[in-house]
Amino acid sequence: MSPRYVMVIDLRRCVGCQTCTAACKSANATPPGVQWRRVLDQESGEYPDVRRTFLPVSCMHCAEPPCAEVCPTTATQKREDGLVTIDYDVCIGCANCIMACPYDARTIQHEPRWAYGVPMAHELARADPGRLSVATKCTFCKERIDRAAITGQTPGVDPEVTPACVNSCISGAMLFGDINDPTSGVVKLLESARHFRVHEDLGTGPSIYYIWSET
Amino acid sequence: MKRSGRALDRMSPRRQTSWDARAATNFICGGAGGGLLAATALASPLGVDLRSLIVLGLALVGLGLLAVWLEIGRPLRALNVYRNVATSWMTREALVATLLFAAGAAAVVLDQPAAIWLAGLSGIGLVYAQGRILRNQKGIPAWRHGLCAALVVATGVTEGAGLLVMAALIWPALTPFGVLLAVLAVARLVVWRRYRESLRGVGVPVGTLKAFDAIDVPFVWVGHAVPIGLGIAGALLGWPIAVALAGAAAVVAGAWFKFVLIGRAALTQGFALPQAPARGSGRPGVGARPGWSRAKAQ
Ligand code: SF4
Ligand code: SF4
């Protein structure tokens, strides 16, 4: 069976520090205003039992991705290993996928943007005109995962082939791995805790699981 | 509980900003143009030369497509739109539009009933495809509701009938089609009522309900009561001016409704937290679904 990569995020551990957000920006050189990953901050409950929860979100790499279904160009595709990808050379920037995504995961940026108005050398070095006016989103750091096939390493175990956000998490709240491998860390964690996926009722089959309690 | 601050608000639905007035123009003009082609086909047995209405229908559809072409990020690659007929209603819309232009051009040049009917059917196909484009957008609760597609189709054909009866000022023989307009307006009113009731029932972002509440009264009166009253009265009494006014009201109201549907009412899904996590040695807490009219998911 081919691998199917998922992410497990333990909400009991997340402290909302946004280190994963910063790591993603650094790893993927997303411009100001474009965040492939963010950490939402939500209060719930009534006084005196009020909670504050941090919810890290990104593209959920859905098993049934509505973005791919509506894409008129086939630029958006789902790979065998579960990663949902965008071919920037085929995308026409119609934003159909943005409307189809219930997770607000996609962005189209039409103009280059720089942190301080004028480009700095490091921004220029990593700016990619091919990513202008097309849809972009979290890739699950697909270049790293693809490298695993060459190096023989295991995504989710070896940091070199694991998404940057997972590597960066200061509280160890994020885990990445193959849900088809019964020995993987993600499977063990999911077996040992209660979890949910966001908007499961929409039938998208998101690949990010959130742990909220012990079994 | 009152929440404040940008970070906290980000879980709530927000108005979509990726499709602006250009996309709305495609739904407005494409729907009205497609509806007009269908209505013109229905009127073709009268024996009046209505080819100028076919030209108008094609021009409206073309204007809508031009507007959307101006909106897409990579217009020079626009032909890639034909690549996903298997699942994408946007691809299917493009294919139907291609057929529509071919049939419409043939109808204008050859003036053959077969071409006129094919153009009319393509017009209905285009309106249907537009409805399905919205229906498949899971990220926008107001659009993915099943009755939204029905409402878009009902609006397109009502606008088409409206444009047809406006032409009664030039061809009085079209005046009896005021009855057709009235029947379509009644059908749309029923769909509009059921759609809004159903949205309240299943739950949608609060902003969506507010946007529809704000247009309800003028939409019902201008878009339905006027076309129904004047359409029937004008048709029975043989007053072209009355049916033309009825048609204009239906067209203007339909365009305004679609503008609101694509813009103001188009709030995103937002995020929901089914459970607040157990932290430390504590218990889990209740979740949250900010910005929704009901806690229950659609
Ligand atoms: S989260 Fe959105 S962009 Fe990612 S696969 Fe699902 S629908 Fe597509
Ligand atoms: S913006 Fe690109 S990826 Fe998204 S639906 Fe359009 S062509 Fe497909």
Q: In CATH, which of 2.60.120.10, 1.10.287.70, 3.30.70.20, 3.40.50.300 is domain A5-214?
A: 3.30.70.20
| Residue B282 banded pLDDT, cuts 50, 70, 90 | confident
For B158-168, what is each residue's pLDDT tens digit?
999 999 999 99
Report the residue of A41, A70, A87, A211 to disrupt the B interface, i.e. the one with the largest count of B CBs within 10 Å: A70
Q: Which of A43, A75, A211 shows the shortest C-beta gap to B3?
A: A43
Show the tokens assigned to A73. Answer: 């160009």
The answer to whether residue A87 neighbours chain B at the CB level (below 8 Å) is no
For B169-205, what is each residue's pLDDT tens digit?
999 999 999 999 999 999 999 999 999 999 999 999 9
* Helices B146-166 and B178-202, packing angle to 10 deg: 160
User: Contact B15/B211 with Cβ under 8 angstroms?
Assistant: no
Task: State whether A72 and B78 contact (CB < 8 Å).
Answer: no
| Residue A1 banded pLDDT, cuts 50, 70, 90 | confident
Other CB atoms within a 10 A radius of the CB of residue B9 amount to: 16
**Ligand 1 neighbourhood includes A204 CB (under 6 angstroms):** yes
User: Contact B73/B201 with Cβ under 8 angstroms?
Assistant: no
The answer to whether residue B10 neighbours chain A at the CB level (below 8 Å) is yes
3-state helix, strand, coil in chain B (%, to 5): 75, 5, 20
Question: What amino acid occupies position B151?
Answer: L
**What's the gap in Å between the CA of A209 and the closest CA on chain B?**
12
Q: Which residues of B touch A74 (CB under 8 A)?
A: 83-84
Q: What is the pLDDT of residue B295?
A: 52
May I ask the CATH class of domain B21-274?
mainly alpha
Measured from the alpha carbon of residue A65, the closest ligand is 1
Show the tokens assigned to B186. Answer: 């009644």
**What's the gap in Å between the CA of B212 and the closest CA on chain A?**
19
Task: State whether B138 and A66 contact (CB < 8 Å).
Answer: yes
Distance between CA atoms of residues B194 and A38, nearest Å: 38
User: Contact B100/B62 with Cβ under 8 angstroms?
Assistant: no
Distance between CA atoms of residues B277 and A15, nearest Å: 12
User: Contact A215/A12 with Cβ under 8 angstroms?
Assistant: no
Which H helix or E strand runs over A84?
Answer: strand A84-86
The beta strands (E) that lie in B154-197 are given as none
Task: State whether A100 and B284 contact (CB < 8 Å).
Answer: no
Distance between CA atoms of residues B121 and B101, nearest Å: 12
User: Contact B151/A78 with Cβ under 8 angstroms?
Assistant: no
Q: Which of B1, B7, B75 shows the shortest C-beta gap to A41?
A: B7
Whether the predicted pLDDT of B276 surpasses 60 = yes
In chain B, whose CA is at the least distance from the CA of A57? B271
Task: State whether B271 and A40 contact (CB < 8 Å).
Answer: yes
Distance between CA atoms of residues A200 and B93, nearest Å: 29
Mean pLDDT in residue range B294-298 = 50
**What's the gap in Å between the CA of B9 and the closest CA on chain A?**
8
* Helices B146-166 and B21-43, packing angle to 10 deg: 60
Backbone angles phi, psi at B154, to 5 degrees: -60, -40
DSSP 3-state assignment of A10?
strand
| Stated pTM of the model | 0.95
Task: State whether B272 and A198 contact (CB < 8 Å).
Answer: yes
Mean pLDDT in residue range B258-283 = 93
The beta strands (E) that lie in A103-144 are given as 107-108, 135-136
For B240-254, what is each residue's pLDDT tens digit?
999 999 999 999 999
Tell me which DSSP letter residue A38 carries: E
Whether the predicted pLDDT of B6 surpasses 90 = no
Q: What is the distance in A from the centroid of ligand 1 to the CA of A84? A: 7
Kindly list the domain boundaries of chain B, sorted by start residue: 21-274
Task: State whether B83 and A72 contact (CB < 8 Å).
Answer: yes
Task: State whether A100 and B138 contact (CB < 8 Å).
Answer: yes
| Residue A168 banded pLDDT, cuts 50, 70, 90 | very high
Backbone angles phi, psi at A193, to 5 degrees: -150, 160
Nearest CA, atom 4, ligand 1: A59
Q: What is the pLDDT of residue A215?
A: 81
**Ligand 2 neighbourhood includes A83 CB (under 6 angstroms):** no
Interface size, chain A vs chain B, as Cβ–Cβ contacts under 8 Å: 182
Q: Which of B 115-144 lie inside 8 A of A, CB atoms?
A: 133, 136-140, 143
| Residue B280 banded pLDDT, cuts 50, 70, 90 | confident
Q: How many residues does chain A have?
A: 215
Mean pLDDT in residue range A130-134 = 98
Show the tokens assigned to B231. Answer: 């359409």
Q: B169: phi > 0 → left, psi -120 to 50 → alpha, else beta; which? A: alpha
**Ligand 2 neighbourhood includes A91 CB (under 6 angstroms):** yes
Distance between CA atoms of residues A121 and B157, nearest Å: 56
Kindly list the domain boundaries of chain A, sorted by start residue: 5-214
**Ligand 1 neighbourhood includes A101 CB (under 6 angstroms):** yes
**Ligand 1 neighbourhood includes A37 CB (under 6 angstroms):** no
**What's the gap in Å between the CA of B152 and the closest CA on chain A?**
17
Q: Which of B 41-100 lie inside 8 A of A, CB atoms?
A: 68, 71-75, 77-78, 80-84, 87-91, 94
